[in-house]
């Protein structure tokens, strides 16, 4: 894989990841752009011990443009996009409308003695999986999935070295039902200046398990139990297994985990990276065949924090959909949104059976 770094017209970074070593990316960004916005505000919620990002500049971000105005397609002689090259394999660039940024302005201080405020320092990047606008991740060849995985590993390592970054999160949103604003196949990477609430809760549970069991890894033990039970396993190969968690929150929800406990994407071997693509593509195909339509989904990589509790983590991909039937979506209503208590309409065992036969 060949990695090339360029600078966009407003100073943001862009990285090309090419499958051939003879590709030359020497096309400059010819646009006239305003400077990138300053970092958002992070406001602390003392009632939940969580940080909330307030990023008002994101109100003006591009929303569902037509294909001929897509900012993620390659540039042409008549139109310049976010990607200057006329063709590319995988491209990663700093988000033009980031929730987190290293461009920090003055320290905002506090709102009340209970609500400190700090700059939303970090980084947000966009990952373009292909230069083809009308395709999807499920249509990529395994070789391209490997390139995407290598790019995510590369960026995870690089972002983890930035000052103040505590956790790197790679994900893809697909479908207007999920809330995507660009149809071009792409994902995102967030480099947070804190460990996220979900990860903190998982690590706390893992720490309690390690203390009770003499240092055993909680996810590895749960994963082994799911593989042994088998009734919620959807598909597997020599290095990865996809299964529906016994306490799945979403109608169709799958964990895809490597058999070997590793903390993050950079820790995967070449063999493990090669084995991921075919199984993940198979899984995405099953999702789309469930209702004979493109399935909206969120695909989220759970990685260890950059510095803390790395031995407690176990890398896994969390894939889930809001669709519960061909004409019904799962909405987060009172119990889920207000109290955080999920009510699932589809039994995990039934969901696993439907996915196995799809």
Query: What pTM does this model have?
Result: 0.97
Each residue's pLDDT tens digit, 305-346: 999 999 999 999 999 999 999 999 999 999 999 999 999 999
CA distance 330 to 17: 36
Domain 2-191, CATH among 3.60.20.40, 3.30.428.10, 3.40.50.620, 3.40.50.10490: 3.30.428.10
Residue 161, token pair as written in the block? 């070295």
Each residue's pLDDT tens digit, 160-192: 999 999 999 999 999 999 999 999 999 999 999
Query: pLDDT band for position 131 (50/70/90)?
Result: very high
Q: Does CATH number 3.30.428.10 belong to domain 198-357?
A: yes
Among 101-105, 144-148, 176-180, the minimum mean pLDDT is found in: 101-105
Enumerate the domain spans of the chain. Answer: 2-191, 198-357
Query: Which long-range contacts link 29-34 to residues 24+ away (Cβ below 8 Å)?
Result: 29/80, 29/84, 30/80, 30/84, 31/80, 33/8, 33/9, 34/10
Whether residue 106 has pLDDT greater than 90: no
Whether residue 108 has pLDDT greater than 80: no
Topology match between the domains 2-191 and 198-357 = yes
Could you give the residue numbers annotated as active site?
186
Classify each residue of 38-54 as buried b or exposed e, where b means 16 or more C-beta atoms within 10 Å of its C-beta: ebbbbbbeeeeeebebe
Element (H, E) at 47: none
């Amino acid at each position: 894989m060949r990695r090339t770094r360029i600078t966009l017209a407003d100073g943001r970074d862009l990285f090309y990841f090419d499958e051939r070593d003879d590709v030359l990316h020497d096309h400059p960004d010819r646009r006239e752009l305003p400077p990138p916005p300053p970092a958002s505000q992070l406001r602390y919620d003392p009632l939940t011990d969580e940080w909330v990002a307030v990023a008002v500049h994101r109100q003006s971000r591009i929303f569902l443009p037509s294909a001929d105005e897509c900012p993620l397609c390659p540039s042409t002689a008549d139109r310049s996009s976010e990607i200057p090259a006329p063709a590319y394999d995988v491209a990663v660039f700093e988000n033009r409308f980031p929730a987190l940024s290293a461009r920090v302005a003055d320290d905002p201080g506090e709102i009340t003695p209970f609500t400190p405020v700090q700059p939303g320092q970090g980084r947000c990047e966009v990952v373009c999986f292909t230069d083809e606008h009308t395709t999807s991740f499920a249509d990529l060849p395994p070789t391209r999935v490997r390139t995407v995985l290598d790019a995510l590993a590369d960026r995870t390592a690089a972002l983890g070295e930035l000052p103040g970054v505590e956790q790197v999160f790679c994900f893809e949103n697909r479908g207007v039902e999920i809330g995507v604003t660009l149809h071009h196949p792409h994902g995102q990477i967030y480099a947070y200046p804190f460990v996220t609430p979900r990860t903190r809760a998982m690590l706390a549970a893992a720490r309690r398990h390690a203390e009770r069991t003499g240092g055993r890894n909680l996810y590895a033990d749960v994963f082994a139990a799911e593989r042994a039970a088998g009734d919620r396993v959807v598909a597997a190969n020599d290095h990865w297994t996809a299964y529906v968690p016994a306490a799945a929150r979403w109608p169709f929800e799958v964990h895809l985990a490597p058999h070997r406990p590793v903390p993050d994407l950079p820790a995967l071997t070449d063999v493990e990276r090669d084995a991921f693509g075919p199984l993940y593509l198979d899984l995405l195909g099953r999702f789309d065949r469930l209702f004979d339509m493109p399935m909206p989904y969120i695909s989220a990589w759970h990685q260890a924090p950059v510095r803390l509790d790395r031995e407690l983590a176990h890398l896994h991909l969390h894939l889930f959909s809001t669709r519960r039937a061909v004409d019904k979506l799962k909405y987060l209503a009172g119990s889920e949104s207000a109290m955080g208590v999920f009510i699932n309409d589809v039994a995990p065992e039934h969901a696993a059976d439907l996915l196995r036969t799809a």
